[in-house]
Amino acid sequence: MTLFILKLAEYTKYPFNRYKSHGRHSAEEFRNDWLAPALKKNYEVVLDLNDVTGFPASWTEEVFGGLIRSHGYTVNELRNQLKIDVKDFLIEEEIWYHIERAVK
């Protein structure tokens, strides 16, 4: 598996909008156009969330829960293929919470 580093700050420094219809730099767009394609190429993705201001729960839920709901990933697949690089470990915990909760 090839290692791929994806930096959220290159997409936006201010994640806010949940859906494309809500405006630019949405969670839906990031998931569909950046994160899911990297995962689909069977990369081991290191998602660098540093140098970004704020992580609204609706944004993180749409990106990460949406990988389960819209792209058919399992929790185990994501645990094996997706690594989160963020200084605040609570953000990483929230991400995995949204992933696991999306299964139910």
Residue 49 phi/psi, 5-degree rounding, is -105, 10
pLDDT in the model for residue 42:
84
Encode pLDDT of 4-15 as tens digits: 999 999 999 999
The secondary structure element, H or E, covering residue 40 is helix 36-40
Instruction: Give the residue among 81, 78, 66, 79 at the shortest CA–CA distance from 28.
Output: 66
pLDDT in the model for residue 104:
73
pLDDT in the model for residue 47:
98
Going 55 to 57 to 59 to 63, the CA torsion angle's sign is positive
pTM tops 0.85: yes
Q: How many other C-beta atoms can be found within 10 angstroms of the C-beta atom of residue 18? A: 20
pLDDT in the model for residue 1:
78
Tell me the C-alpha distance between 5 and 26, whole Å: 20
Per-residue model confidence as pLDDT tens for the chain (104 residues): 789 999 999 999 999 999 999 999 999 999 999 999 999 998 899 999 999 998 899 999 999 999 999 999 999 999 999 999 999 999 999 999 999 999 97
Hey, what are 74's tokens?
A: 């399992």
The dihedral formed by the CA atoms of 59, 16, 50 and 7, expressed in degrees to the nearest 10: 80
